[in-house]
Structure formats: structure tokens, C-alpha cells
Structure 1
Amino acid sequence: MSEKEEILQEIIARIERLPITRYIWATFLIAAFGYFFDFFEVSMMGAVAPAAAKTFRVSTAEGALLITITLLGMLVGAAIGGYLADKYGRKRMFMITLIGWGSLSLITAASPNYVIMFILRFLTGLFLGIEIPTLDSYLNEILPSKMRGKYFQVVFAIFEWYVPVIFALGLIIIPLSPEAWRYMFIIGGITAIPLWLARTILPESPRWLAVKGKTEDAKRVMNNIEKHVEANIGKKLSPPPTVTVKPYISRSNVSEVFKGRNGRLTAFWLPIYFLSFFGWYFFITALPSILVARGFTIIHSLYFGLASGIGAAALALPPVFTIDTKIGRRGTMIYSIIIMIVSAAAYILFPTNFVLIIAGAIISGMVTIWADVVHQWGPETYNNEIRATATGINYAAARAGAALAPYIGVVIAYNYGLTGVYITGIAVALITLALSFAVPETRHRILEEIYAKRAV
């Protein structure tokens, strides 16, 4: 075994013995707050786009383009951001992206016309696109395997509540004046400032440092983490467990994502990401615009978004109790898709406004669970050297699906009604479910073990 492999094995063992203490939980939450900005963008643009379209006197379709160009920026950012995170480090990249996102959000609030806002939305999406695959990789790397799934989903269960909060803000702020939507961007930009300051205390991923041959840095970071943990528990940590898995060491370049076992895995993850986030954005972002196009007022569409957001947040809790049990990642995805299909069928059979609101709330919750599981599951299956690169490429596919969702949704709703929308959603869910059986279950498994023993 090489020196790099020995050091990485030592780091793995030391991470595996960590209990979840105040320090670990605070580190995890501060980093994971980046997901807030993803949820903020998804929810806010669904509410802001129709109002901004009226301000700039453009059509509803052109307003929807503001959503699409943001997602296109996220696509480009994800495609390059994962590679940058593998090359330059997780912490460095998510510090840079937060500065970019926050600054551009504040500048967007002052957009003088549609064209400027269009450009700023692309650039904002670019920085946010880099943030998410970096976070997915970082958070998976710093937690022990026995708790990785549960605490990942706890974070999502917390941050899902920002979706209805943002829609509620939209209901309060947007009706104040024709240009009150600008305050939504100011809120987002200001929020980035305290988070950037809090992130300065976060450690770099010790796994990434070890893989890059930064042996002393990796040991120093682990020593510091363990010092804080021991201060929290009031005693010395127990000896590290014996880790028998031999870490896989590969080159850190994009081509590795498409070679051998990685290539076969990517062939399944690309459509899973595409379809999962198509479904998520389809319901969370597209439906407000669809409802406006069908004659509902912007305020009514915001009420629908609020109901859907509450449903998503309330129903995001079950994965906390299932994802690290025998149900696992795949089982959690399966039950979310089954409940989604039943809810869609209920609206198809009983197409009333009341059923629409209830079914929409439940479906939003289930689609969110489905996407949240993919957030965690995908990065777990790749080796350390290319984890962020692969996640970024898969996330680019996710953003492509998200960018297409509003347009396909409007076309389907216009020609086939919301029944057609739900039938499309069922088909997308079933295809994703079938594809998920081709990727390995990762519950309670060390990241390096998942790669070494996977069947794909």
C-alpha cells in the first residue's frame, strides 16, 4: 500500500469514529446552508418571473426565460464547478461561489431592463451551479458512514421550510408595488454576508487533502476536528476502528468520469439526475407560471406555491427515519414515487380545485424527497478523486432537465390540461425508478467501500 493510501485509510478511520457533537453539527449546518440559496432561487424565481415580466413589459413566456437562463447558468456552473472543486478544494470553491452569488443577487435587484436582468440571472446561476456539487461532495466526505444519510436528510428537512417562507414573503412583498419583486433579490444577497463569515471557520475536507497528497494538512485538520469533538464530549475519543477497505487512487480528470466502472455508473446517473430534477422544477417552479398562463392571477399562483411548499416541507421529514434503515436510499425513493403516483391519480380521477391543491402539496413533497435522495446518493458512489467532477457533470444534466421543465409543462398544460401534466410526471417517475435499480445501495457503507464493492 502506498503512503497516500495509508494516510487516506488513517483519515477514513478517524472520521468513522467521530460522534455527532455540537461542533460536527454546526460545521455541517453552516456548510449545508448553501442549499438554502438553491431552494431560494427555485422558489423565488417562480414567484418573481411573472412580476418582473410585467415591470419590463414582456410576455409571460419571456418572463419564464428568466427562470430558464438561471438554470442554464447553473448547468454551466455545475459542469465546470465540480472539476474546480476536485482541483482546488471544496472550501475554497464554496467561499468563492457565495461571494459571487450574493453580489450578483444585489446587483440584480437594480436591473434597469429585461436584457440586463437576463444576463445577471445567467451569471448568478453560474456561481450557484458551482456551489451545489461542491457541497454534495463536501458533506458526504466529512460524516461517518453510520450517520451520513440521516444527517444529510435532517438538513434537507430543515431547509425545505424556506420554500413556503419564501412564497409567503412573495405574497407579502410582491403586491406592495409593481417593482417590489426587487426586494426578494436584496433579501437573498444580504443573507449571503453572515453565511460567508461563518464559513471562514469551516475545515477543508480531510479526505480531499489526503487524496491530494497534502498529508500534514489532512492530519492537522483531523487533529483540530477531534480537539473540538473531545471538548464537546468531555473525554478522549476511542481508538479509531480498523478499516480494511483499500482506498482506490485514480487520476483527477474529467475523462475518469466516463471510463470503466465510473463510465457505466455515469450512464445511469445522468438520466436519473435529468429526470429527477425535471420533476422537481416542473412542480416547484413551472406550475406558478402554468397557472398564470391558464388565467389564474399571480397572487393565486403564489398561494398554490405556498401550499405546495408547505407540503414539501412537512413531508420531507420521513427520509430522516428511513434513509439509514433497511429501506435505504433506493427504498426511500421508491415510496416517494409511489405516493406521488397515487396523488396524481387522485387528481386525474377527481379534477377539482380542492384536490388540485392537496395533490399538488403532496406531489411537491414527494418530488422533493426524490430529488433530495439523489443529492446524496449520487456523490456517494464515486471515488474521492473525481467525486465533485462527476457530481457536477450529473448536476449539469439535472439543470438541463430543470431548464426544459417550464416549457414542456406549459405546452402539456395548454394542450392536455393538468391531467396531462400529472400523467407526464408519473411516466418520468417510473423511468427514474427503473434506472435506480442499476446503481448500488450505499446505506451505512464507507465511501471508499462503496466504490470498491459496487456491482455496476
Structure 2
Amino acid sequence: MSEKEEVLQEIIARIERLPISRYIWYTFLIAAFGYFFDFFEVSMMGAVAPAAAKTFRVSTVEGSLLITITLLGMLVGAAIGGNLADRYGRKRMFMITLIGWGALSLITAASPNYVVMFILRFLTGIFLGIEIPTLDSYLNEILPSKMRGKYFQVVFAIFEWYVPVIFALGLIIVPLSPQAWRYMFIIGGITAIPLWFARIFVPESPRWLAVKGKSEEARRVMSDIEKHVEANIGGKLPPIPTISVKPYISRLSVSEVFKGRNGRLTAFWLPIYFLSFFGWYFFITALPSILVERGFTIIHSLFYGLASGIGAAVLALPPVFTMDTRIGRRGTMIYSIIIMIVSAAIYILIPTNFVLLIAGAIISGMVTIWADVVHQWGPETYSNEVRGTATGINYAAARAGAALAPYVGVVTAHNYGLTGVYIIGIIVALITLALSFGVPETRKRILEEIHAKRVI
């Protein structure tokens, strides 16, 4: 075993003995707050796009393209950002992206016309696109295997509440005046400032440092984490456990994502990411524009969006209790897809506004579970060296699906009504369900164990 492998094995063992403490929660939540900006973007743009379209006197379809171009920016950011995180560090990248996103959000608030806003949305999307795969990699790397599934999903269960909160803000702010939608961007940009300062105290991933051969720094960061945890629990940590898994060390190369075991994984994950996030954006972000296209007022469409956001937040809780049980990642995804299909079928059979409200809330919850599971499950299956790169590439596919969703949603609603929208949702869900059987279950398994066995 090489020195790098020995250090990595030591770091793994030291992470595995950590209990949940105030410091671990602080580190986890402050880093994970980056998801707030993702939720803020997708929820805020669902509320803002129709209003901005009216301000700039463009069509509903052109307004929905503001969502699409933001997501295309996220696609570009994800495609390059994961590799940047693998090369230069998780912390460095999520500090840089936060500055860029916050500044561009504030500038967007002053957009003088549709074209300028269109360009700014693309640039903002690039920074956010880098942020999310970096966070997915980081959060999977700093938690012990026995609790990784539960606490990762706790974070999503918390942050999902920002979706209805942002929709509620939209209901309050957007109607104030024809230009009031600009305040939503100001709120987002200002929120980034205190988070940037809080993130200064978040440690770099010890796993990443060990993989990069920065052995002393990895041990120092790990020792600092342990000191904080011991201070929180008021005693010494248990002895370092013996880890029998030999870490699998691969090259840092984009091509590694498409070779051998990684390549087989990527063949399944690319369409899963694409379809999962197509479904999420289709039923949550694009919903207001879809309803406006069907003749609903902006206020009524935002109300339905708020109801769907509440459904997503409430129903995002079950994975906290299933991810680390025998149900696991795959089982959690399967039950969410089945419930989503049943709810969509009920609306198709009984197409009333009341059923739309209830079915929409349930479907929003299920596609949220579906996407939250993918956030965690995908990065777990790749080796340390290419985790960020692979997650970025897969997330680029996710953003492609997300970018397509608003346009497909509005056009489908225009030509085939809401029944057509739900039929597309069912087809997407069935394909994803079949693909989920092509990737390994990862519940309560050390990340390196998953790769060392090299089993699909």
C-alpha cells in the first residue's frame, strides 16, 4: 500500500468514528446552505419569469426562456465545475461560486431590458452550476457511512421549505408593482454575503486533501475537526477503528468518468440525472408558466406553485427515515416514482382544479424525493479522484433536462392541456424507474468500499 493510500485509509477511519455534534452540524449546514441558492433560483424564477415577461413585453414562451437560459448556464458550470473542484478543492470552489452568484444576482435586479437579463441569467447560472456538484461531493465525503444517508436528507428536508417560502415571497412581492420582481434578485444577492463569511470557518474535505497527496494538511484538518467534536461532546472520541478496505486510487482525468466501471455507471447516471431533474423542474419551476399558458392568472398560478412547494417540503421528510434502512436509496426512489405515477393518473382520470391542487402537491413531493436521492446517490458511486468531475458531468445532464422542462411544459400545455403534461411526467418516471436498477445500492457503505469492490 502506498503512502497516499495509507493516509487516505487513516482519514477514512477517523471520519468513521465521528459522532454527530454541534460542530459537524455547523460545518454540514453552512456548506449545504448553497442548496438554498439552487432552490431560490428555481423557485424564484418560476415566480419572476411571467412578471418579467410582462415588464419587457415579451411572450410567455420567451419569459420561460429566462428559466431555460439560467439552466443552460448551470449546465456549463456543472460540466466544468466538478473537475475544478477535483483539481483545486471543494472549499475553494464553493467560496468563489458564492461571490459570483451573489454579485450577478444584484446586477440582474437592474436589468434594463430582456436581452441584458437573458445574458445575466446565463452568467449567474454558470456560477450556481459549479456550486451544486461541488457540494454534493463535499457533503458525501465528510460524513461517516452509518449516518450519511439520513443527515444528507435532513439537510434537504430543511432546505425544501425555502421553495414554498420563496413562492410566498413571490405572491407578496411580485404584485406590488410591475417592477417588483426585481426585489427577488436583491434578496438573493444580499443573502449570499453573510454565508460567505460563515463559510470561511468550514474545513476543506480531508478526503480530498489525502487523495491529492497533501498528507500533513489532511491530518491537520482532521485533527482540528476532532478537537471541535471532542469539545462538543465533552470527552474523548472512541479509538480509531480498523478499516479493512483498501482505497482505490485512480487518475484525475475526465476520460476516467467514461472508462471501465465508471463508464458503466455514467451510462446509467447520465439519463437518470437528465430525467430526474427534468421531472423536478417540469412540475415545480415551470408550473406557474404552464398554468399561465392554460389561462390562469399570475397570482393563481403562484398560489398553485405555493401549494406544490408546500407538498414538496412536507413530503421530502420520509427519506430521512428510509435512506439508511433496508429500503435504501433505490427503494426510496422506487416508492416516490410509483406514488408520482398514481397521482398523475388520478388527475388524468379526474381533471378538476381541486384534484390538480392535491395531485400537484403530491407529485411535487415525489419528484423532490426523486431528485434529492439522486443528489446523494450519484456521487457516492464514484471514486474520490473523479467524484467531482463525474458529478459535474452528470449534473450537466440534469441541467439539460431542467432547461428543457419549462419549454416542453408550456408547449405541451398549450397543445395538449394539463393532461398532456401529466402523461409526459408518467413516461419520464417509468424510464427512470427502469434505469435505477443499473446502479449499486450504497446505504451505510464506506465510500471507498463501494469503489474497491467495483461491483455494479
- Residue 415 of structure 1, CA deviation: 2.1
* Match in the other structure for 1:77: 77
TM-score (norm 2): 0.99
Give the aligned CA root-mean-square deviation in angstroms.
0.6
Separation in structure 1 between the aligned mates of residue 423 and residue 370 of structure 2, nearest angstrom: 17
Tell me what 2:9 maps to: 9
- In structure 2, the partner of 1:249 is 249
| In 2: Cα distance, 1:334 partner to 1:264 partner | 21
Which residue is 2:91 aligned to?
A: 91
Q: Secondary structure of 1:141's match?
A: helix
Map of 2:204 onto structure 1? 204
Question: Quick check: 1:189 aligned with 2:192?
Answer: no
1:120 and 2:134 correspond: no
CA distance in 2, matches of 1:234, 1:64: 53
Q: How does 1:50-199 map to 2 (within 5 A)?
A: 50-199=50-199
- Aligned pairs (5 A) from 1:36-435: 36-435=36-435
| Structure-2 separation of matches of 1:28 and 1:223 | 17
Aligned match of 2:23 = 23
Instruction: Return the offset for 1:411.
Output: 2.2
Deviation at 1:414, TM superposition (A): 1.9
Counterparts of 1:340 and 1:5 in 2: how far apart (Å)?
A: 44
> Partners in 1 of 2:47 and 2:412 — Cα distance?
21
Q: How far 1:287 sits from its partner (Å)?
A: 1.6
Rounded Cα–Cα distance in structure 2 between residues aligned with 1:113 and 1:221: 48
**1:409 Cα offset (Å):** 1.4
**4+ runs of 1 displaced by more than 4 Å?**
none
Letter in 2 for 1:424: I
Instruction: Give yes or no for contact 1:98–1:127 (8 Å, CA) kept in 2.
Output: yes
Q: Is the 8 A contact 2:65 2:407 kept in 1?
A: no
Using the TM superposition, name which of 406-415 and 16-25 deviates more: 406-415
Task: Give the letter aligned to residue 230 of structure 1.
Answer: E
In structure 2, C-alpha distance between the alignment counterparts of 1:134 and 1:455, rounded to whole Å: 25
- Indicate the residue corresponding to 1:452 in structure 2: 452
Partner of 1:437, secondary structure, is: helix
Moved more, 206-215 or 59-68: 59-68
How far apart, CA to CA, are the structure 1 residues paired with 2:95 and 2:123?
Answer: 16
Aligned counterparts of 2:305 and 2:410: Cα–Cα separation in 1: 16
Give the AA of the match of 1:112: P
> 1:401 is aligned with what amino acid?
G
> Is residue 100–residue 127 contact of structure 1 (8 Å, CA) maintained in 2?
yes
Kindly state the Cα deviation for residue 412 of structure 1 after the two structures are TM-superposed: 1.9
1:324 aligned partner, one-letter code: D
**CA offsets per residue over residues 134-183 of structure 1, 9 Å max, x none?**
00000000000000000000000000000000000000000000000000
Q: Quick one: which amino acid aligns to residue 442 of structure 1?
A: T
Gaps of 5+ in 2: none
Point out the more displaced range, 414-423 or 243-252. Answer: 414-423
The number of equivalent residue pairs is: 456
Aligned 8 A contact 2:311 2:364 in 1:
yes
For residues 35 and 286 of structure 1, the distance between their equivalents in structure 2, rounded to whole angstroms, comes to 19
Asked if the contact 2:21–2:229 (Cα under 8 Å) also holds between the matched residues in 1, the reply is: yes
The whole-number CA distance in structure 1 between the counterparts of 2:242 and 2:351 is 58
Kindly indicate whether the alpha-carbon contact (under 8 Å) linking 2:83 and 2:388 is maintained by their aligned counterparts in 1: yes
Q: Deviations over 1:99-123 (max 9, x none)?
A: 0000000000011111111110000
User: Cα distance, 1:69 vs. partner?
Assistant: 0.5
SS of structure 2 residue aligned to 1:145? coil
> Residue 209 of structure 2 contacts residue 218 of structure 2 at CA under 8 Å; is this kept in 1?
yes
Shift of 1:451: 1.0
Counterpart CA distance in 1 for 2:44 and 2:454 is: 39
- By how many angstroms is 1:454 displaced? 3.9
Paired letter, 1:381: T
Q: Amino acid of the residue matched to residue 333 of structure 2?
A: M
